[in-house]
């Protein structure tokens, strides 16, 4: 049996790929490996962006391997513990302080949308994408945070339309309602995710982490609380080597080079 989980790092961008083409189902083993490795990745200052994708170009992920559900609940001890693990993993992606990019192509259903919803950037294929939370068609509901994160991404009206009707949308509609940030040809989607990751990795790491702390989860804060977070971020980034480099580059009319190793 092939490894269901592939991991690599290129130019400070870590790529996590579901290796179960063509459907790229999210197996128990895949989630276990993510939970095991993510803390080390997020603590590694040399890794400054993450990409979540699936092998091949047929489907990002058709969601959880439902055949494993009874086994997974038995291993975890209860449904709450089983789904709680998935919540922990997605929370690490969203709140870990490293920008995360998801590629949405082919089927992006159930967990195959819920994981991208925890990412900060989502790139969709112009053709062939089918994006949705179809759990209602199975007599169930999203259980990996989909019903919590989707309204924050697209608003209550669109979220209810997708969830209650089990409706799948294509890349064009996903872009129109603000679910994804970019549309690209499916043949270019992985290359675009890598180039965006490299662009983010070139930004000053502390400033990026600070802004993720301010912006992620803003929906649950008052304006004053968000302003306080911003002030803390500004103080933390004042006088840093990257701040000095940014100002010097501006004065010298050149592109700044951030994240240099201390001499």
C-alpha span between 170 and 152 (Å, rounded):
19
Active site residue 225: no
Please tell me which residue in 135, 198, 219, 245 is annotated as part of the active site.
Answer: 135
Taking Cα atoms as reference points, which of 94, 91, 85, 112 lies closest to residue 31? 85
Label the pairing between strands 107-109 and 49-54. Answer: unpaired
- Residue whose pair of structure tokens reads 């702390």 in the numeric block: 213
Active site residue 198: no
Enclosing H/E stretch for 17: strand 13-18
Please tell me which residue in 114, 127, 230, 252 is annotated as part of the active site.
Answer: 114
232-261 residues labelled b (16+ CB within 10 A) or e (exposed): ebeeebeeeebbebbeeeeeeeeebebbee
CA pseudo-torsion sign 31, 57, 199, 175: negative
Q: What is the largest CA-CA distance in the chain?
A: 62
Report, as residue numbers or ranges, the catalytic residues.
Answer: 114, 135
């Amino acid at each position: 049996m092939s490894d269901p989980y592939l991991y690599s790092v290129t130019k400070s961008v870590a790529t996590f790929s579901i290796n179960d083409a063509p459907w790229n189902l999210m197996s128990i083993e895949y989630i276990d490996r993510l939970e095991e490795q993510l803390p080390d990745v997020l603590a590694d200052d040399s890794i400054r962006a993450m990409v979540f994708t699936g092998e091949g170009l047929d489907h990002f992920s058709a969601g959880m391997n439902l055949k494993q559900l009874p086994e997974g609940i038995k291993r975890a001890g209860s449904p709450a513990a089983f789904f709680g693990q998935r919540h922990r993993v997605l929370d690490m992606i969203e709140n870990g302080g490293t920008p995360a990019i998801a590629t949405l192509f082919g089927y992006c259903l159930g967990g195959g949308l819920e994981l991208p919803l925890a990412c900060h950037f989502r790139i969709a294929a112009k053709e062939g994408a089918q994006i949705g939370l179809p759990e209602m068609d199975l007599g169930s509901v999203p259980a990996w945070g989909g019903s919590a994160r989707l309204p924050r991404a697209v608003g209550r009206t669109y979220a209810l339309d997708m969830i209650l009707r089990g409706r799948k949308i294509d890349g064009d509609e996903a872009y129109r309602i603000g679910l994804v940030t970019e549309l690209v040809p499916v043949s270019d989607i992985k290359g675009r995710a890598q180039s965006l990751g490299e662009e983010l990795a070139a930004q000053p790491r502390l400033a990026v982490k600070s802004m993720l702390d301010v912006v992620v989860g803003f929906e649950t804060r008052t304006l004053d609380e968000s302003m306080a977070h911003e002030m803390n971020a500004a103080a933390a980034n004042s006088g840093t080597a990257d701040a000095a480099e940014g100002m010097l580059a501006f004065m010298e009319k050149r592109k700044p080079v951030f994240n240099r190793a201390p001499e």
